[in-house]
Amino acid sequence: MRSAILLTFLAAMPAWAEPISETDLDHLPAADVVVLGEVHDNPQHHLNQGRAVASIRPAAVVWEMLTPDQAARMPEDRSDAAALEAALGWAGTGWPDFSLYFPIVQAAGSARHYGAAVPRPEAQRAFAEGAAAVFGPDAARFGLDRALDAGDQAAREAEQFEAHCEAMPLAMMGGMVEAQRLRDAALARAALQALEETGGPVAVIAGAGHARRDQGMPAALALAAPSVTVLALGQTEADPGPDAPWDLWLVTAPTERPDPCAAFRQG
């Protein structure tokens, strides 16, 4: 896709657009918030995010991987990866090695950093009590007070069932959906805070599922602030087909990894 087509795209802001190449990351259309989805352990996805961030030149970066307290510890000197990892307490987060994410920090320059990670106890509460009960008084603004329609609920539960290797009871997937909705709303809230405090643009680093237009963070943000423009970019390791749920997407080679479901089959 030529960059001219990309620039034309944003004016209409369609629900779906087209796949792009890595060179198109240098000419992304402008938006208040740009969500850069990833497969967490794919190194190429993080290089692509860094390339996009360098093009966007965001005033702020929102991280799925960091809590607000961790992001507040981002030092002014961000030149040393080991020192930065220690300052953020990355080693205890459970995310892939910080070396994968360091190029994004470097590309962001002097941008402010915001954390949107949902602590595990809150996610567990959402599993049992629902996302709205955990999120707080502005839950309705982000749509958490609204039950999903039956078809959407069933589709999301099926996706969660597959993502968890079909190793957990299907009856538990409703709780998983609530935890996911909580995370999407937390990302949207942090992005709006970053936009209000810095003027934007804001880049959001999150999993490709959270970047989905139909049910992810962009959907929650659209409910909360309809006038805010959002560009949702997903990265996948296989062709997502004609109904890809992002404005733009990149397909990359898969990274080598152990079969995540092997342990369940052995058990």
Q: What would the pLDDT profile of 25-34 be if each residue is shown by its tens digit?
A: 999 999 999 9
Assigned token pair, 64: 């799925």
Q: Degrees (nearest 5) of the Cα angle 146, 149, 153? A: 100
- What pLDDT does 2 receive? 40
Query: What whole-number distance in Å separates Cα of residue 52 and Cα of residue 215?
Result: 23
Domains of the chain: 3-144+179-266 (3.40.50.11550)
Minimum mean pLDDT range among 141-145, 152-156, 258-262: 258-262
- What pLDDT does 167 receive? 85
Strand 248-251 to strand 18-19: parallel, antiparallel, or no bridges (unpaired)?
A: parallel
Quick count: other Cβ atoms within 10 Å of Cβ 238?
8
Query: What whole-number distance in Å separates Cα of residue 205 and Cα of residue 53?
Result: 10
Give per-residue pLDDT as tens, 82-132: 999 999 999 989 999 999 999 999 999 999 999 999 999 999 999 999 999
Give per-residue pLDDT as tens, 32-41: 999 999 999 9
Query: Amino acid identity, residue 137?
Result: P
Q: Degrees (nearest 5) of the Cα angle 99, 103, 107? A: 160
CB 23 within 8 A of CB 206: no
pLDDT at 12 over 50: no
Which pTM does this prediction carry? 0.92
- What pLDDT does 164 receive? 86
CA dihedral defined by 88, 90, 93, 95, rounded to 10 degrees? 130
Range 156-176 average pLDDT: 92
Average pLDDT for the chain: 92
Percent with pLDDT over 70 in the chain: 92
